[in-house]
Structure 1
Amino acid sequence: MVKQKPPVQKNETIELTFEDLTHEGDGVGKVNGYPLFVPYALPGEKAKVKVIKVKKNFAFGKLLEIENVSAERVEPPCDVYIQCGGCQLQHMSYGLQLDMKQSQVKNALRKIGHIEDIPVHPTIGMDDPWRYRNKVQIPVGYRDGELITGFYRKRSHEIIEGMDRCVITAEINDRMVEAVRRMADRLGITAYDEKAHKGILRHIMVRTGEQTGETMIVIVTRTEQLPHEEELVKELHETYPQIKSIVQNVNKEKTNVILGKKTKVLWGEEYIYDTIGDIKFAISAKSFYQVNPPQTKRLYDKALEYANLTGKETVIDAYCGIGTISLSLAQKAKKVYGVEIVPDAISDAKKNAKINHIENTEFYVGEAEKIMPWWTAQGLRPDVIVVDPPRKGCDEALLEAMLTMKPDRIVYVSCNPSTLARDLRILEEGGYETKQVQPVDMFPQTNHIECVALIELKL
């Protein structure tokens, strides 16, 4: 059998018409049925493309010149959009972004989960899809003898020059990073050099309560000692009254992980506060807290709707984190059990329940796939299970535990359509039926999509 060669060659320049988008937002065009994936190209566009990598069944290309410009193409407002890579979709209209994300969920369900005839609703978007992130973590470096801050260039650890704002981050966070950088530079606090593992200031992290306006500054250092600490702290909190907490995190390791094990409050409170709906949350330097609270509210409202609680139900919230979903559920349920593997998160969950005077929750540290069989042995049978796993999806043992418990409904909150589809297939084969899926755009301008799926026990 003659091996068929791809119809394009590396470094060849071709003319290509784009007909679709990948789940990462790249344009897809075909040469005699052979697909080429090209970043920043849009469906309906015709362009000159340079072929940069050729595989057996597909190739990658670089956009050179657009001949037919799509009506959905917009000018990215970020000056370093192409270099940064933190956002992938700024070149397309927000309407197209929402459509693309709905299609991404539909395609994953069909191709991976073999689930087709269910409603995948239009993506719930934002009225203003900019400046939504309440947290920023910025590396610090040197250039021409001065401290600089900015995100890393795509696929590198080189800080992008001239980056003084991020259009998806709350404006106050930009201002706080710049203030810390400027003061630290004047005080002679040195930047961390990751190659030599020397210097002091590694990262500047800022967290802001979207509803409260409270701000926390986290100064990440390689050393326990922060030179000119008193001067820096005094100038920061006297200049910016919205700052409620200034924290030092010490990371002595030679690692890409941003935060180290030791955290100490330099000034103010250990926590700042924010609200999602009518529930108040305490946020520490290390707390996991959703970066887009308005969309989190929409996501959790949909999860609550799918849970369909009447006040009589027992609910398990697996992967409960700091209790954000658990506490929403507790307002409508008889009892909520939360389980999470991170001890600090469970401490925060208990604290958040106390702050909100919610008494019908119990939180446990451990792996949900191990604790849930123990609950089953104790005779606990939940009416509803809510899962919100990491990108890798649910552990197989957790899926088995849910099938053993046989709740009436499972509400699956997912940040990865592919693993959602895989897990839904397992649940469907175990006697459940997927009823509907609602995508929610938690991260506008990026290719990430969250969604909520309603799964019911077949009668």
Structure 2
Amino acid sequence: MVDINKNQIYEATIEGFTSEGLGVCRINGRAVFVKGALPGETWRLRIVKAGKTAVYARGETCLGASPERTEPGCPLFGRCGGCGLMHMSYREELKMKLARVNDAFRRIGGLQIEASEIIPADAILRYRNKSVYNISEGNGVPVFGFYRSGSHDVVSAQGCPLQSETADAAAAAVCAWMKSHKISAYNDKSGKGAVRHVFVRSARDGSAVCCVVSAEGFGKHTAFLVSALREACPELTGIVLCINKTRGNTMLAGDFYTLWGNAELRDVLCGFDFLLSPQSFFQINPVQAEKLYDLAVGFAMPDSGGTILDLYCGAGTISLCLARRAEKVIGAEIVPEAVENARENARLNGITNAEFLLGDAAEAAKNLADRGIHPDAVVVDPPRKGLSPEVIDEICRMAPERMVYVSCNPASLARDLKRFSEFGYAPSVGIAVDMFPRTT
């Protein structure tokens, strides 16, 4: 095998695409990953990194573009670590995402089943109801944005086409206030500085809550922050300060203080009203979430009645949808504020057949199994890391007739489905829903 070295030039045709949005070609028998290249394209490439396990190249010249290539339409494309698929048609994006799911099923799970379809999004821009910006300083001026791919360098995200205009205006107002009042940005490396993040959640009616995350309070400058945000974003119904003194990457940690208005935001999903604290989990794309939840309810409950267990229930979104048809719904969630939101959301909507438990999913499932509760169906919607073996064991100990797995990570989903198969559960239907258009 001929060695590949840094700065060598090659011509190659892109044969595949990774889950991170990198084109893949083969040079001298080795897989080479190329940012921004699409399958079927021919490129003149420069090797930028040639390691023992992976080789990366930069596209110098496209010698033959794919018919699915499009203009990104975003000045940040290629610099920030956000939407990595704006250079391809939406049709090709859907095809790639469905292939990724089915590849994980085969390669990781060893499963015969394939996801039969992917449900496209109605809107592929401005669909996010939650924005989280990192705050940094560039040339001594506060900026808001996202991390550059593969680093903790913040790239300005003003005008990002996926975020709401309210979020954009709120983050800009915070940065302008910081500059005016000489408030510093937090430095990850030194652990010094103040403002870390700006978090904005918007409801369908246009109202929004802004949460400023800082390592310290602002004293006499706080009132000016509130005024700046209210002037820039009259649609705000609440402004919150989160004092996060930890050195980790957890954003919403520490103590929360309502600076003005109401810390909770009211939103509507699937015909239900929801009260959401900044810490509550809530689907980022509400239109697609309704399609997803309709599928989940239909799979969990082909007929009305019965008891349903909803693990990782968050603020109770799926639970309330299930409660329309179930005799009893039990939701479990580890975040105290989310559980309180779920209980309040049930009261708000007149739901009396839903119970919400605070605790780890494995612990909740074990306690229910110990009590002899055998739900007719179990619905899980875990974080990206998926389910622990303990959770799977306890679910199977309850022996539900049906299980519905809502996943945001095909790899962990496939791994967990393989584990479930060891207990005699076989997946019967798989459908993908594009929740985050233009992103990997």
C-alpha change, 1:227 and 1:259, in structure 2 (3 Å) is: farther
1:318 aligns with 2:311: yes
Distance (whole Å) between structure 1 residues aligned to residue 3 and residue 339 of structure 2: 56
Paired position in structure 1 for 2:194:
200
| Superposed displacement of residue 33, structure 1 | 4.7
Query: In 2, distance between residues paired with 1:260 and 1:413?
Result: 26
CA distance 1:202–1:60, shift in 2 (3 Å): closer
Deviates more, 1:261-270 or 1:363-372: 363-372
* DSSP-derived class of the 1:386 partner: strand
One-letter amino acid of the structure 2 residue matched with residue 142 of structure 1: E
Deviations 1:336-386 (A, max 9, x none): 111122222211211111111111011111222233233223221111111
- Structure 1's 139 and 421: CA in aligned 2 closer, same or farther, altered over 3 A? closer
**TM-score in terms of structure 1 length:** 0.90
Q: Aligned to 1:81, what secondary structure does the other structure show?
A: coil
Shift of 1:218: 1.2
- Matched position secondary structure for 1:123: strand
Q: Distance in 1 between matches of 2:214 and 2:149?
A: 24
Partner of 1:146: 141
| Shift, 1:32, TM fit | 5.7
* Residues 340 and 364 in structure 1, CA contact (< 8 A), matched pair in contact too: yes
Superposed CA deviations along residues 280-329 of structure 1, whole A, max 9, x for unmatched, are 11111222222111111111111112113433111011111221111111
How big is the shift at 1:45? 0.6
Find the counterpart in structure 1 of residue 159 from structure 2: 165
Q: Which residue among 173, 179, 194 is the counterpart of 1:179?
A: 173
Aligned to 2:5: 9
AA at the equivalent of 1:339: A
1:177 corresponds to which letter in structure 2?
A: A
- Please tell me whether residue 443 in structure 1 is matched to residue 433 in structure 2: no
Correspondence 1:127 to 2:122:
yes
Deviations 1:149-186 (A, max 9, x none): 2223233333325x422111112211221123223433
Q: Distance in 1 between matches of 2:184 and 2:30?
A: 52
Q: 1:426 aligns with which of 398, 419, 424?
A: 419
Identity %: 39
Unaligned runs of 5+ in 1: 448-459
TM-score of the superposed pair, with normalisation by structure 2? 0.94
CA distance in 1, matches of 2:232, 2:18: 47
What residue number does 2:48 align with? 52
Tell me if the contact between 1:99 and 1:122 (Cα under 8 Å) persists in the aligned partners: no
| Shift in alpha-carbon separation, 1:295–1:185, aligned structure 2, 3 A | same
CA distance in 2, matches of 1:17, 1:234: 55
Matching residue within 384, 389, 392 for 1:391:
384
**Aligned ranges for residues 57-456 of structure 1 at < 5 Å?**
59-116=55-112, 118-160=113-155, 163-209=157-203, 211-237=204-230, 240-447=233-440
Task: List per-residue Cα deviations over 1:23-73 (Å, max 9, x = no partner).
Answer: 222112223653222121111111111223335575322211110011111
Q: Alignment length, in residue pairs?
A: 440
Aligned equivalents of 2:134, 2:22: Cα separation in 1: 28
Asked whether the 8 Å contact 2:173–2:232 carries over to 1, the reply is no
In 2: Cα distance, 1:239 partner to 1:55 partner: 49
Structure 2 CA distance for aligned equivalents of residues 37 and 225 of structure 1: 46
CA distance in structure 2 between the aligned counterparts of 1:115 and 1:388, rounded to whole angstroms: 20
Letter in 1 for 2:120: G
How far apart are the structure 1 equivalents of 2:212 and 2:32?
A: 44
Instruction: State the Cα distance separating 1:420 from its structure 2 match.
Output: 1.1
- What does the per-residue CA deviation read over 1:175-234, in whole Å, with 9 as the maximum and x for residues that have no partner? 22112322343344343344454443332221111x121111112222234432223323
Q: Is the 8 A contact 2:245 2:254 kept in 1?
A: no
Taking the aligned partners of 2:86 and 2:52, their CA distance within structure 1 comes to 31
- Deviation sequence 1:426-456 (CA, Å, 0-9, x none): 2223222211111111111111xxxxxxxxx
After TM superposition, the structure 1 stretch with the greater mean CA deviation from structure 2, 96-105 or 420-429, is: 420-429
Tell me if the contact between 1:189 and 1:227 (Cα under 8 Å) persists in the aligned partners.
no
Q: 2:381–2:407: 8 Å Cα contact kept in structure 1?
A: yes
The RMSD of aligned alpha carbons is: 2.1
- Provide the C-alpha distance between the structure 2 equivalents of 1:204 and 1:113, rounded to a whole number of angstroms: 38
Partners in 2 of 1:8 and 1:253 — Cα distance? 43
Greater mean alpha carbon deviation, residues 99-108 or residues 241-250 = 241-250
Distance in 2 (alpha carbons) for counterparts of 1:12 and 1:303: 50
Residue by residue over 1:111-153, the C-alpha shift from the partner in whole angstroms, topping out at 9 and shown as x without a partner, is 121212x341221121221111112222333344433222232
Residues 128, 163 of structure 2: 8 Å contact kept: yes
Alignment-mate amino acid for residue 36 of structure 2: Y
Tell me the amino acid that sits aligned with residue 426 of structure 1: R
DSSP-derived class of the 1:402 partner: helix
Q: Secondary structure at the match of 1:84?
A: coil
Q: Contact 2:266/2:273 (CA < 8 Å) preserved in 1?
A: yes
Distance in 2 of aligned mates of 1:77 and 1:319: 37
Number of the residue aligned with 1:20 = 16
Report if aligned partners of 2:169, 2:233 keep a CA contact under 8 Å in 1: no
Change (3 A) 1:433 1:154: closer
Relative distance call for 1:238 and 1:418 in structure 2 (3 A) is: closer
